[in-house]
A and B are shown apart, each in its own frame.
Chain A
């Protein structure tokens, strides 16, 4: 899922300015799960904005609304009424959600969250990055542990020899990805995969080739 974090209230106030009707628009999918932009967070952030607005006399009128998914036109339509009644939209969706709303409505749409990464819920209230969406998955070669994402140096022929006590040299709070890859391949009996040299990664499939698009002709009418 996409993991995001809220911007601070002063940051949001900076973005919003004053004398506006603001719709705080939540998203019920990824950002709800990562406790950043769901219905509950919409309510909390709206309260905080109303309080700040009155203390600083910014004259912001805040309305709350949450839709199932901001990155899907079918669900975006359900926010049409609320959007039409407000001057600006503060989207608590991920970057994709903000842009989907902005493309559909001719009103200023501001991002209320910082979209961070594609990750998983590691344990309660802890999310970790697992995928950088590089466009050419190599997970099968590394026992299901992605060196592109989880190795700080993105090494495909690691390790870098800088790790200490299984910890990453650059991020001592994170495990060395290559230590994990070695242990994993050993436990599933595929250590021989490490004997094969990996060719340099082709980044043309990634963001370096511009924004990406997928068209499934078989599903088009």
Chain B
């Protein structure tokens, strides 16, 4: 299948203490990243549960980026470490369900890391472009993308 014009829908869960600021800074610095990235601010990546990720894929997201603080730098001590485990567990669940585990990724970024944030985001988008759309959207009627948009 040709995915040349495919623009993946990415949900980026960003911790408000670091990567959300980094994303904000990316805007101030005029760094470019695709417009089809939906940023969701979270109080801490440790607040994110596996069901949120599963539900996002179920609703048609093509990829998920979970951006937390640098390891050892979590505002709540270990929220980002919890998130790391949950992202890994989600990958396992996705593989069992028939979705590539590479579609979800966790990164650790400081509030000043606008450039690494954009680089990581673009890298994930490239990976997902190679994988193609979420298998659910490929199969049936292109479902709930409107819900997410």
Contacts and interface: CB of A to CB of B under 8 A. Distances in A.
B97 A48 contact: yes
A50 B58 contact: yes
Contacts of B58: 47, 50-51
A126 interface: no
Interface in A1-51: 8-10, 40, 43-44, 47-51
Interface in A125-180: none
Given A10-B96, A40-B49, A54 B136 contact: yes
B51 A44 contact: yes
Nearest to A9: B96
A52 B57 CA distance: 11
Contacts of B97: 9, 48-49, 51-52, 55
Interface residues on A, range: 10 to 19
B143 to A, nearest CB: 9
A208 interface: no
Contacts of B140: 54
A179 B55 CA distance: 48
Contact of B93 (A40, A48, A55, A57): A48
A19 B110 CA distance: 48
B107 interface: no
A56 interface: yes
Given A40-B49, A56-B98, A47 B54 contact: yes
Contacts of B99: 51, 55
A2 B74 CA distance: 34
B136 A9 contact: no
Nearest to A55: B98
A43 B57 CA distance: 13
Contacts of B55: 43, 47
Contacts of A10: 96
Contacts of A40: 49-51
B29 interface: no
A143 to B, nearest CB: 35
- Kindly list the 5 A-B residue pairs having the minimum CB-CB distance in the complex, ordered from nearest: A47-B54, A9-B96, A55-B98, A43-B51, A51-B97
Interface of A: 8-10, 40, 43-44, 47-52, 54-57
Given A40-B50, A43-B51, 8 more contacts: A48-B54, A48-B93, A48-B96, A50-B58, A52-B97, A55-B97, A55-B139, A56-B98
10 contacts: A9-B96, A43-B51, A43-B54, A44-B51, A48-B54, A48-B93, A48-B96, A51-B99, A55-B97, A57-B139
